Amino acid sequence: MNRTTGTTRTHRTDGTDGTDGTDPAAQAERMRLLLTGLGAHVRSELLAYADRGLARRVHGDSPGGDAQFDVDDVAERAVLDHLRAHAEIPLALYTEDGSYVELAPDPQVLLVVDPIDGTRPTSAGLEMGMVSIAAAPYGDGAPTLADVTAACLVEIKSGAWIYGDEAHGLTSGGFTTPVPRLSRTTDLTRMFWSIEFNGHPMRLMSDAYAHLVDRSANTGGIFVFNSSTFSISRIITGQLDAFVDIGNRVLRDHPHTEAEFLRVGRGSILHLFPYDIAAAVYLARLAGVTITDAYGADLGSTSLVDLGPMNQKSCIAASTPELHAQLLESVDWDLAAATTTPDTTEAS
Q: Phi and psi for 172 in degrees, rounded to 5?
A: -155, 170
Give residue-wise pLDDT tens across range 237-288.
Answer: 999 999 999 999 999 999 999 999 999 998 999 899 999 999 999 999 999 9
Predicted confidence band of residue 318 (pLDDT cuts 50, 70, 90) = very high
Q: How far is CA 300 from the centre of its chain?
A: 13
Q: Using an 8 Å Cβ cutoff, are 194 and 317 in contact? A: no
Percent of the chain with pLDDT over 70: 85
Give residue-wise pLDDT tens across range 108-159.
Answer: 999 999 999 988 888 888 999 999 999 999 999 899 999 999 999 999 999 9
Question: What's the predicted TM-score (pTM) here?
Answer: 0.87
Percent of the chain with pLDDT over 90: 73
Our CA dihedral for 39, 283, 97, 75, rounded to 10 degrees, sits at -20
255 vs 184: CA distance, rounded Å: 36
Per-residue model confidence (pLDDT) at position 68: 54
Per-residue model confidence (pLDDT) at position 11: 32
Per-residue model confidence (pLDDT) at position 22: 65
Neighbours of 2 (CB within 10 A): 5
Give residue-wise pLDDT tens across range 194-221.
Answer: 999 889 999 999 999 999 999 999 999 9
